[in-house]
Structure 1
Amino acid sequence: MSADAFARLRWSRLGPQDRDRIFELHLRVLRDMSPDQVRPESLEFFEALLDGAGRIIGACDPDGGLVAYGVLQDGPDPGTRPDLWLDWPSDARIQKLAGSSVAQAYRGQRLQCELIRRRVALADPGAYLYATAAPSNPASWHSLLYEGFEIRRLRRVYQDSLRYLLARRAGPPIVSADADASRPMDALSLDAQDRLLSQGWRGRFLARTGAVFVPPEVAGP
């Protein structure tokens, strides 16, 4: 996709009338992914979001075809409950980036990052935001890290599927300085990553080194 084609995409909040084409794009994307990479969603999931349980934004090509969407869900997913794991305030306003899809012809153009940015901008002021991503789906968690999310936990959720739990606050992203004590993610096994996360380390994107784990004294509260 050229820069001109990207610029000609039309973005909008989607409504109940878009339910079927959102679901159709979701099913198309599932065909290109392995079962451990993307969580299959039901038509009822999208219906509930479009009926007030969240918001869905989408990008259409000049002909009106839906080429990308992103979900912002109100409240924690009962299967993940980051508020129980991350010591968030009991009255925290929690919203989840609960999945996105990009048509095959539009991949590799950082549309996932654009979907993340737009959903963060759409979130309630001060909300606690989170997302999940399979370790086997680096395109997903790389994009989230690049947009200011941190890997906070490694958990089995969604019927025992392994997922990173990533979080950030609404508003400007964390600005991370390069840290001498950081450890590159690709040099660590998942077991080693899990041990670091349990000790307060966090996964971040650093400008100089890319995806790394930073120690608690760098990670902050």
Structure 2
Amino acid sequence: MSPDAFSLLCWRRLGPADRDRIFALHLRAIQGMGPDQVRPESLEFFEALLDGAGRIIGACDPDGALVAYGVLQDGPDPGTRPDLWLGWPFDARIQKLAGSSVAAEYRGQRLQRELIRRRVALADPDAYLYATAAPSNPASWRSLLGEGFEIRRLRRVYQDTLRYLLARRAGPRAEPAAPAAGDGALRLEGLSLDEQDRLLSCGWRGRPAPSGCVLVPPEAFE
């Protein structure tokens, strides 16, 4: 791939005619990955989104091949209730960044970050946004942290698989400031999953930091 291949990509909202190409890219992207890392989706999942349950944005190469897509889903998944877990207003407009895929030859070009940015821009301006990411898939949750999301909970969802719940508001938003020394922040990777779960349940939040990711206590941002 040439160095300027990224700049030659054509971005557009995908439609029903793209269904099979989206599904094929999804299947290629998850090869070799188990449900503990990524959630496999059905053809019907993408069909419903393209039929009005959400929006899918995609990038095509100069030859018209689909090389990346990202899903913005209207409403929460059954079994994931960020409105209840995070105390969001009962009438909150909730949208989910519900998965994305990048063709192997385009990985390492920060396309996952671009897909997050474009879906946040595509979301309703007053929406509460969330996403899930497996602790064993750091590329996913680190990309979300880099785009203004915070790790808010650790939950077993999707047929009892462990996922971080990450959230932010739609619209322009500055990234959280890096925690200052002495604010009690703890390095995420140095904590067991049980300890992470305990702290997140007490209101701690996962944020980006020069060292990777830290959990910040509630008093640091209240």
Q: SS of 1:155's equivalent?
A: strand
Separation in 2 of the partners of 1:134 and 1:219?
Answer: 25
* Match of residue 189 from structure 2: 186
Alignment of 1:63-82 (within 5 A): 63-82=63-82
2-side partners of 1:38 and 1:77: how far apart? 15
SS for the counterpart of 2:59 is strand
In structure 1, the partner of 2:177 is 176
C-alpha separation in 2, matches of 1:6 and 1:173: 25
2:200 equivalent in structure 1: 197
Aligned to 1:8: 8
Give the equivalent residue in structure 2 for 1:114.
114
Equivalent position of 2:139 in the other structure: 139
| Residue 140 (structure 1) shift | 0.3
1:210 maps onto 2:201 in alignment: no
Q: CA RMSD in A?
A: 1.2
Q: Which moved more, 1:28-37 or 1:195-204?
A: 28-37
> Which amino acid in structure 2 is aligned with residue 97 of structure 1?
L
Structure 2: runs of 5+ lacking an equivalent: none
1:216 is displaced (CA, Å) by: 0.2
**Residues 201 and 219 in structure 1, CA contact (< 8 A), matched pair in contact too:** no
Contact 1:147 1:173 in 2 (8 A): no
Q: Unmatched 5+ residue regions in structure 1? A: none
Alignment partner, residue 155 of structure 1: 155
Q: 1:173 to 1:75 in 2, by over 3 A?
A: farther
The percent of aligned pairs where both chains have the same amino acid is 79
2:128 maps to 128
Alpha-carbon distance, 1:217 to partner: 1.2
Separation (CA, whole Å) in 1 of partners of 2:40 and 2:46: 11
Q: How many residues align?
A: 219
Residues 166 and 115 of structure 1: is their aligned pair in 2 closer, same or farther, counting only changes over 3 Å?
same
Q: Supply the distance in 2 between the matched residues of 1:114 and 1:196 (Cα, whole angstroms).
A: 30
In 2, Cα distance between the equivalents of 1:153 and 1:219?
Answer: 17
1:19 maps to a residue whose letter is R
CA pair 2-167 structure 1, distance change in 2 beyond 3 A: farther
SS at match of 1:125: coil
Match of 2:35 in 1: 35
Shift of 1:2: 4.7
Q: CA deviation at 1:175?
A: 2.9
Task: Judge which range, 210-219 or 38-47, deviates more.
Answer: 210-219
Deviations 1:157-195 (A, max 9, x none): 001000000000002144323322211111111111111
| TM-score, normalisation: structure 1 | 0.96
CA gap of 1:173–1:32, structure 2 versus 1, over 3 A, is farther
**Do the aligned partners of residues 79 and 70 (structure 1) sit closer, same or farther apart at CA in structure 2, a change above 3 Å counting?**
same
Question: Is 2:61 aligned against 1:91?
Answer: no
